[in-house]
Structure 1
Amino acid sequence: MTRKSRVHAVVGGGVMGVATAWELARRGEAVVVYEATGVADGASGGFGYRGVRANGRDLRELPLMARAYEIWPELADALGSRTGYDRIGHLRLYEAPHEEPSSAHRARVQASMGIPSQHLGRAQLLEMEPGLGPTVRGAVHCPMDGVADHGATTQAYARAAQGAGAEVRVGRAVTGLISHGGRVKELELEGGDRVPVSGELLLLANSATATLVERALGRELPVWAVLPQVLWTSAEDETPPFTSLLGHAHRRISLKLIPDGRIMISGGWRGTWDRSGAPTSIPDHVKANWDEAVRVLPSVVRRTLEGAQVDRPESVSVDGIPVIDRLPEASNVIVATGWSGHGWAIAPAVAELLAAWVTSGNRPGLLGPFCLGRFA
């Protein structure tokens, strides 16, 4: 089958799906994206900015992040649209004395893996961020980390993919996979229609992939959906209270200063589904997230909590890193899911590698750590 006679299918219109479609299309491949609702309607959308962060990651992801560091600064020009990318640096704070040696070692290991990192004591840290709370003892600093506008970036990828020849179909979910001879040959769409798959099938829908794979192919992936909590404050007419992306070694807290002056508060707290199946916040989790923010950055208390969002499902895996592999049940199916809250920053690198895998037939070495075989 020639390159143009095969049409690859991508399921999922989040950043991973449309970025991979762009990478394939600009390599001359025919590709169609199938998205249930709209581009960036899931985990790749919503309030605020996302961290482009290497600091504190699982070490197996750092080679991907090193490549992402090279892509992000040039991405807006490559896509022809703004991404909101800003390299502001990340501080992974710590408070307990026993966290000082582990933080120093993490800085050295990250630096040895291509991630510039420095361990800072309290005096150095306060020169950078004087508004930090009195219990913060030090931090690991990654100056090449930053933030990006996730909604704008995902939409930019989608437009660029279409400009390169990809087709993006929105508004109908993929509800089934029709297999024959060890390959998926058709997709079943909401409403019962079927569409052919003559090339590779990439299942990249963040929180829907595991359910689709189990229902259609009988494989249970060690992945499930959660509802990450995001809070935001009022904007205040004051000197910015901090400038870096802030995280923490043991507290579930992440702080980002949004360009409009509001503070985005996240870090691992979650919502739940109510009896009707609708996402809903948990008041105790909202309060706990707020209290953590005030402890780390006391000036937060002068602001008003304006909103809480828990309606963007995210997939998490049993060991906290993604599952990226071909499925034994269908030789033309590649899955990528279980991002565990930190797939955003590495998405440009993973999309590039997925496209290389599809076009060459060989799994790139950087994706090896994320194979299904690690659960055997």
Structure 2
Amino acid sequence: MIYDVIVIGAGSMGIAAGYNLAKAGKHILMLDAFDPPHDDGSHHGETRIIRFAYGEGASYVPFVKRAGELWRDLETLSNESLFLQTGVVNVGEPTSSFIQNVRTSAKLYDLALEQYSAIEAMKKWPGLSLPGNFVACFEPTAGVLRVEACIHAYKKLAIEAGATLHTNEKVQNIIAGDIVRIQTTHKVYEAKHLIVTAGAWTTELLQTMDITIPVTPTRKTFAWFEAEEQLYHENVFPAYCFELADSLYYGFPSIDGAGLKLGRHDGGETINPNDPLRPFDEQDAIDLQNFINRFMPQHGALKFGKTCKYSMTPDEDFIIDFLPDHKNIVIAAGFSGHGFKFSSAVGEALADLTLNGESNQDLSLFQLSRFN
């Protein structure tokens, strides 16, 4: 049997691509080394931020706006609550690149953005403590995605549309050609087209084809803290992003009574994705504790921390492109840190690239050739 498309990696990007291809009537096989959603990639941990006035650059805005539309569609199709409109507050010095990009994005694309001084922000959100030289840019239409629920929804719809999903089946080898051959721990599969969305494992998979891409698997941590619900509940406190002089932090209000969630975006240590992650430890806790003590001092005790795998490109922009010399193989990689919110639109774009050779989205920022 020769499939129309095989998708390697059925996490956030792959499951969305599989759904779009199956919906288009294609014969699809999705392969995953685990059983999504799971704790071995970068899509676990309950929540991810979705924001539209984009701190990483205004060029991302059309793509994330499309992603927002598709998440709303998915809510309707699945009859599940996937998006919480908590708003997102971006905090830092007015000269910080993140804050400037947020303001530029909002102005260029006419996005709702409320701007506050430190004193005004602390009055609006009494759980905050900010230095006098900081500003806060609040995006009321932004919010939080329930990540595992999003993946469950796409998984259910993809299978209902006719896609085949094989879980706990690790791919060992890719042999390119007019018909691509995929060797797994179980058997060999063949397809006319291949999509690789394998997260931290993308680099090693492509090495089986003697192709090297600059994506580095990285260990990251995040944690939950006890929270005074009157100050930090999802109905009164937003998700947040802080750009400090030497670091970037992000986090979430207390959702469903879980407590304040906090993570650090920058830094982390390079890992082999096949090795067990070093568990969340005291040093991880100290770093997050220092931040929350300073900016949200009315928090409670640390509840627990978790680890996850990022996969980072040198410029922290994504890779969404055909492989050189292989026009039937598309890769999507290097998303971690800010990719999950885009996965609905990435899935659509990957299906379009595979079916039509092009996407309605401008993907020029994500071309592999930029690293040449």
Per-residue CA shift, 1:223-255, capped at 9, x if unaligned? 110122111123556553651111112243222
Q: Give, in whole Å, the separation in 2 of the partners of 1:34 and 1:349.
A: 20
Give runs of aligned pairs for residues 65-84 of structure 1, distance below 5 A: 65-78=64-77, 80-84=78-82
The answer on 1:213 being equivalent to 2:202 is: no
Counterpart of 1:90? 88
Counterpart of 1:189? 184
Per-residue CA shift, 1:6-39, capped at 9, x if unaligned? 5210000211111111111111111110001111
CA 363–299 in structure 1, closer or farther in 2 if over 3 Å, else same: same
- Length-normalised TM-score, structure 2: 0.89
CA contact 1:44–1:154 (8 Å) conserved in 2: no
CA 202–297 in structure 1, closer or farther in 2 if over 3 Å, else same: same
User: How far off is 1:141 after superposition?
Assistant: 1.7
Three-state SS of the structure 2 residue aligned to 1:335 is strand
Counterpart of 1:230? 222
The answer on 1:256 being equivalent to 2:255 is: no
1:146 to 143, 147, 153: 143
The answer on 1:36 being equivalent to 2:30 is: no
Counterpart residue type for residue 119 of structure 1? Q
Counterpart residue type for residue 32 of structure 1? L
Q: Give, in whole Å, the separation in 2 of the partners of 1:337 and 1:64.
A: 16
User: How far off is 1:330 after superposition?
Assistant: 2.3
Counterpart residue type for residue 316 of structure 2? G
Three-state SS of the structure 2 residue aligned to 1:130 is coil
Q: Give, in whole Å, the separation in 2 of the partners of 1:218 and 1:374.
A: 19
Counterpart of 1:112? 108
Q: Give, in whole Å, the separation in 2 of the partners of 1:306 and 1:266.
A: 14
Q: Give, in whole Å, the separation in 2 of the partners of 1:195 and 1:102.
A: 45
Counterpart residue type for residue 212 of structure 1? L
CA 115–357 in structure 1, closer or farther in 2 if over 3 Å, else same: farther
User: How far off is 1:270 after superposition?
Assistant: 3.5
User: How far off is 1:71 after superposition?
Assistant: 2.2
CA contact 1:324–1:367 (8 Å) conserved in 2: yes
Q: Give, in whole Å, the separation in 1 of the partners of 2:332 and 2:72.
A: 24
Q: Give, in whole Å, the separation in 2 of the partners of 1:105 and 1:202.
A: 32
CA contact 2:127–2:232 (8 Å) conserved in 1: no
Counterpart residue type for residue 240 of structure 1? Y
Unaligned runs of 5+ in 2: none
CA contact 2:6–2:30 (8 Å) conserved in 1: yes
Counterpart residue type for residue 225 of structure 1? P
Q: Give, in whole Å, the separation in 2 of the partners of 1:103 and 1:13.
A: 34
User: How far off is 1:123 after superposition?
Assistant: 4.1
Three-state SS of the structure 2 residue aligned to 1:229 is strand
CA contact 2:122–2:130 (8 Å) conserved in 1: no
Give runs of aligned pairs for residues 168-207 of structure 1, distance below 5 A: 168-180=165-177, 183=178, 185-191=180-186, 193-197=187-191, 199-207=192-200
Unaligned runs of 5+ in 1: none
Counterpart residue type for residue 46 of structure 1? H
Three-state SS of the structure 2 residue aligned to 1:357 is helix
Three-state SS of the structure 1 residue aligned to 2:213 is coil
Counterpart residue type for residue 243 of structure 1? F
Q: Give, in whole Å, the separation in 2 of the partners of 1:232 and 1:372.
A: 36
Per-residue CA shift, 1:93-114, capped at 9, x if unaligned? 11x4644x98357413433135
Counterpart residue type for residue 50 of structure 1? R
Three-state SS of the structure 1 residue aligned to 2:251 is strand
CA contact 1:234–1:262 (8 Å) conserved in 2: yes
Greater shift in the superposed pair: 63-72 or 312-321: 63-72
Per-residue CA shift, 1:173-227, capped at 9, x if unaligned? 01101234xx452100015x21111x2100011111111102x221110111012
User: How far off is 1:272 after superposition?
Assistant: 6.9
Q: Give, in whole Å, the separation in 2 of the partners of 1:12 and 1:177.
A: 13
Counterpart residue type for residue 296 of structure 1? F
User: How far off is 1:56 after superposition?
Assistant: 1.4
Counterpart residue type for residue 86 of structure 1? L
CA 5–12 in structure 1, closer or farther in 2 if over 3 Å, else same: closer
CA contact 1:271–1:282 (8 Å) conserved in 2: no
Three-state SS of the structure 2 residue aligned to 1:208 is helix
The answer on 1:325 being equivalent to 2:321 is: yes
Three-state SS of the structure 2 residue aligned to 1:219 is coil
